[in-house]
Amino acid sequence: MSSPSAFPATDKRHPAPILDATLITSVPLTSFAQHLTFQVEGGVKGNDRLEFLPGQSVRIEVALNGRPTPFAYSIASPPNEDNRFELCLKGVSKGSPADNLRELKEGTRVRVTHPQGHFVLQQPVGDTIFLAAGTGIAPIRSMVHWLMKSSDCHQGARVWLFFGARNHESLFFDREFLELARQNPNFHYIPTLSRSHSEWTGARGHVQEHFLRLAPSGEPIHAYACGPPAMVTDVRKLLSEQGWPDALVHFDHHEF
């Protein structure tokens, strides 16, 4: 519905393969997850301009056994003009790359690659379903915020976000998505808990158990799934059984 020019430009032939970035904020999302914001150095008008498509990832060098080793993490923020990117990281195990990043102090400098990846919004944009679980919400948050930032981006398309978590604490950015839904009648947010308490009035179980019933019927639309491998496999199987064309199903695995 919108033109390809609505996407932010991403030059694949960057002059420098590595960027320097500084951690400017590190805020707990929960007792076990962290929301990190990095500022890429060089300034907005500098040579090290950070450009990416919603859903792409960066590789960050993390010390592993005393050696800097690059690990890929999905960008959790939409493209913008301030040369910043955000990450959403869950603790895995003591000493793991994700845990090392979560423990970084504000002001720490890191080295990152230019954003890459093929799990991105497709053009033209139309009605869309997003399915996420755990930190799989990171690239989908980037996509949702980019779509909802203006009517020029979503062109009136309807957007559904099914976000699954074990409990309410694990619904990262829950208030944020509720507010987006309040402000945008075309955005539908369906949080789903697999271990909900008795007072929970929302969907229960797993996202793959609800989206075919609650999402629109009719012609297949673009569907994006990101989360643990088992969840992604279930979603792909269900969509295939419903006759969803492979070209409309986009997925990525997220375990950290």
Per-residue pLDDT, averaged over 91-102, amounts to 77
Considering the domain boundaries, does residue 219 fall inside one? yes
Verdict on whether the full-model pTM lies above 0.85: yes
Residue 45 is part of which domain span? 7-113
Segment 56-87, tens digit of pLDDT: 999 998 877 777 888 899 999 999 888 999 99
Say whether both 174 and 205 belong to one domain: yes
Considering the domain boundaries, does residue 145 fall inside one? yes
Return the beta strands (E) in the chain as ranges. Answer: 18-28, 33-40, 57-64, 67-74, 84-90, 109-113, 128-133, 159-165, 187-193, 203-204, 222-227, 249-253
Beta bridge partners of 21: 40, 110
- Report how many domains make up the chain: 2
Identify the weakest region by mean pLDDT among 55-69, 113-127, 163-177, 207-221: 207-221
CA–CA separation, 82 and 116 (whole Å): 19
Say whether both 98 and 157 belong to one domain: no
Collapsing DSSP to helix, strand or coil, 185 comes out as coil
Pairing of strands 18-28, 109-113: antiparallel
Beta bridge partners of 128: 159, 222
Say whether both 99 and 140 belong to one domain: no
